[in-house]
Amino acid sequence: MTSNLYDRLLAGAESDQSICIEKDDGTALSYAELAALSGRFANFLARIGIGPNHRVAVKVEKSVEAVALYLATLRAGAVYLPLNTAYTPTETEYFIRDAQPTLIVCDPREEADLRAIAAKAGGRVETLDHRGKGSLADAAAGFPARFDTVARTNDDLAAILYTSGTTGRSKGAMLTHGNLSSNALTLVQEWRYSSKDVLIHALPIYHVHGLFVACNVTFAARARILFMQKFDAERILTTMARSTVLMGVPTFYVRLLESANLNERATANMRLFVAGSAPLLAETHRAWKERTGHAILERYGMTETGMIASNPYEGARIAGSVGRPLPAVEVRVTDPETGAILPVGDVGMIEVKGPNVFAGYWNMPDKTAAEFRADGFFITGDLGKLDAQGYLYIVGRGKDLIITGGFNVYPKEIETEIDAIDGVSESAVVGVPHADFGEGVTAAVVRLPNSSVDERAILDALSGRLAKFKQPKRVIFVETLPRNTMGKVQKNLLRERFATIYATKAG
Ligand code: AMP
């Protein structure tokens, strides 16, 4: 066995008849069948000359064949490069030009666009649709199932994932076989995963959460995946009776809580609910516990590092905390300006070091150098604090910090207060240019249905609870908060939308 991630997760799978993935249509694939499918794809990749360090860019809908293509790319020794299906042709062109993939696999509907891009930027184009059909599947069907997985070391590249890039250019995070296998094997232990587990998988598979956490962990434990094309609260609720684990973004839990069918009986067979990729409101954590008796296990990670911290499987899962650093992962909180390590309880920059931390940004040596400390710690860009028990609390992205009249304001603190006000569903607080204060604290608020809470009521409620400089200068009601597919609030869009409010009305 080499350090190829495929071998680390799936060695011997070719003779394992247990079910690996069940599809929406009720059909299922055993581990042996998945190994065979990935072998056919890998033989095809090898035949067209793809091997170590070649990039395979994949912009396709979720399918079992797409998972097999991911595994085949690993087996061929090449680098898997998934792209968010929502990217426009212009965005896609940027990634293709930057990554220079040898092969681009796309949905047949986008073939013309991708061929036009490939004509300029290079690369061969094949197709694969949401049912796993297309030119790639046709070509691979004629190849043998057996494939000798290419040997790789821990330091060799396995994948490049582009960060969501809400500010500036999106960056390609280079992840090694060692990064991905260490993280998957650690989570199997930490979350007590076994071959008896059945995972409800409703996440996209172009992101770290749905691909590297959900799939890799399940494969490593030889457990079963119930593959859902998209999130559907009622289907998930009926599926829970024969499942044991759900991994979701916080929005999943908020949506499930809206269903009258969520109760202790519906979740009786479940042993683990995991949340991550965006902050889970303490309120959601509490409401879930009340309705189901289960404490959601919140964890924290990012594209560049995989998972960093997790609440414990046994022990206190604290609402509002992302838990303790995972084994072998070091976390520290530093002064963003000086890099000095801060005492317990102080808010600062979260830095991380460990076998999970990526090898750098593709084609960006200067950016890579700027985001690592000399002693190897990666500067996450997230602000947070550790408590005396070693639990980590995230306060927000560093770039979301508001500086108003020379004071630092952490949006999370204000959002927590606003969310507790009667009639408020949720909120997002941003800094907007303001002539007197530099930035004006500005709140976007979503009302609960039938609530008529207004700006005055919110400001009055906050006046006794927050220092004057932290209180919003304006409260703006919105129908919904802008979120990306992983449930993260896109504060850059709010800042753009509110950019001129203090130019027209005195704050
Ligand atoms: P991504 O690279 O798309 O996975 O985004 C990573 C970012 O998501 C982190 O740097 C955090 O800002 C945020 N994030 C992930 N998990 C959590 C969490 N449990 N609580 C708060 N923020 C989170």
Phi-psi label, residue 339: left if phi above 0, alpha if psi -120 to 50, beta otherwise: left
- Please indicate whether residue 484, judged by its CB atom, sits closer than 6 Å to ligand 1: no
Query: Could you tell me the distance, in angstroms and rounded to a whole number, from the CA of residue 301 to the centre of ligand 1?
Result: 6
- Please indicate whether residue 364, judged by its CB atom, sits closer than 6 Å to ligand 1: no
Query: Could you tell me the distance, in angstroms and rounded to a whole number, from the CA of residue 396 to the centre of ligand 1?
Result: 9
If you take atom 8 of ligand 1, which residue's CA is the nearest one?
Answer: 277
> Can you tell me the distance from the alpha carbon of 443 to that of 441, in angstroms, rounded to the nearest whole number?
7
- pLDDT for position 416: 92
If you take atom 5 of ligand 1, which residue's CA is the nearest one?
Answer: 302
- Please indicate whether residue 276, judged by its CB atom, sits closer than 6 Å to ligand 1: yes
129: Cβ contacts below 8 Å, ≥ 6 apart: 60, 61, 63, 107, 108, 109
DSSP string covering 225-282, please? EEE-SS--HHHHHHHGGG--EEEE-HHHHHHHHT-TT-STTTTTT--EEEE-SSPPPH
Minimum-distance ligand 1 atom for the alpha carbon of 163: 2
Profile the chain (507 residues) by mean pLDDT over runs of 10 residues: 94 97 95 98 98 98 98 98 91 95 98 97 97 98 98 98 73 97 98 98 96 98 96 97 96 94 98 94 94 98 97 96 98 94 97 98 95 96 96 90 84 92 96 87 96 96 89 96 89 94 66
In a mutational test of the pocket of ligand 1, which residue from 206, 382, 485 has the highest number of ligand atoms less than 8 Å from its CB?
Answer: 382
Query: Could you tell me the distance, in angstroms and rounded to a whole number, from the CA of residue 285 to the centre of ligand 1?
Result: 17
- Please indicate whether residue 208, judged by its CB atom, sits closer than 6 Å to ligand 1: yes
Q: Tokens in use for 461?
A: 């409620």
Helices and strands in the chain: count of H runs, count of E runs: 17, 24
> Can you tell me the distance from the alpha carbon of 426 to that of 465, in angstroms, rounded to the nearest whole number?
18
Instruction: Find the farthest-apart pair of alpha carbons in the chain and give their distance in angstroms, rounded.
Output: 71
- pLDDT for position 460: 95
- pLDDT for position 386: 98
If you take atom 10 of ligand 1, which residue's CA is the nearest one?
Answer: 302
Minimum-distance ligand 1 atom for the alpha carbon of 303: 2
Strand ranges, E, within 387-504 = 392-397, 402-404, 407-409, 424-434, 438-447, 474-477
In a mutational test of the pocket of ligand 1, which residue from 84, 251, 300, 395 has the highest number of ligand atoms less than 8 Å from its CB?
Answer: 300
Minimum-distance ligand 1 atom for the alpha carbon of 394: 21
If you take atom 4 of ligand 1, which residue's CA is the nearest one?
Answer: 302
Residues facing 350 on adjacent strands: 333
Give tens-digit pLDDT for 207-233. 999 999 999 999 999 999 999 999 999
In a mutational test of the pocket of ligand 1, which residue from 175, 211, 488 has the highest number of ligand atoms less than 8 Å from its CB?
Answer: 488
Exposure class string for 377-406: b at 16+ Cβ within 10 A, else e: bbbbbbbbbbeeeebbbbbbbeebbbebee
Q: Tokens in use for 41?
A: 């794809």
- Please indicate whether residue 298, judged by its CB atom, sits closer than 6 Å to ligand 1: yes
What amino acid occupies position 389?
Q
pTM for the full model?
A: 0.90
Residues facing 444 on adjacent strands: 428, 476
Query: Could you tell me the distance, in angstroms and rounded to a whole number, from the CA of residue 68 to the centre of ligand 1?
Result: 27
Minimum-distance ligand 1 atom for the alpha carbon of 208: 4
Query: Could you tell me the distance, in angstroms and rounded to a whole number, from the CA of residue 302 to the centre of ligand 1?
Result: 5
- pLDDT for position 507: 42
Closest CA to 296 of 280, 279, 315: 280
In the chain, the percentage of residues whose pLDDT exceeds 90 is 87
- Please indicate whether residue 397, judged by its CB atom, sits closer than 6 Å to ligand 1: yes
- Please indicate whether residue 124, judged by its CB atom, sits closer than 6 Å to ligand 1: no
- pLDDT for position 165: 61
In a mutational test of the pocket of ligand 1, which residue from 84, 249, 302 has the highest number of ligand atoms less than 8 Å from its CB?
Answer: 302
Q: Tokens in use for 154?
A: 């821990």
Query: Could you tell me the distance, in angstroms and rounded to a whole number, from the CA of residue 382 to the centre of ligand 1?
Result: 8
For residue 161, report the phi and psi dihedrals to the nearest 5 degrees. Answer: -120, 130
Query: Could you tell me the distance, in angstroms and rounded to a whole number, from the CA of residue 300 to the centre of ligand 1?
Result: 6
- pLDDT for position 375: 96
- Please indicate whether residue 396, judged by its CB atom, sits closer than 6 Å to ligand 1: no
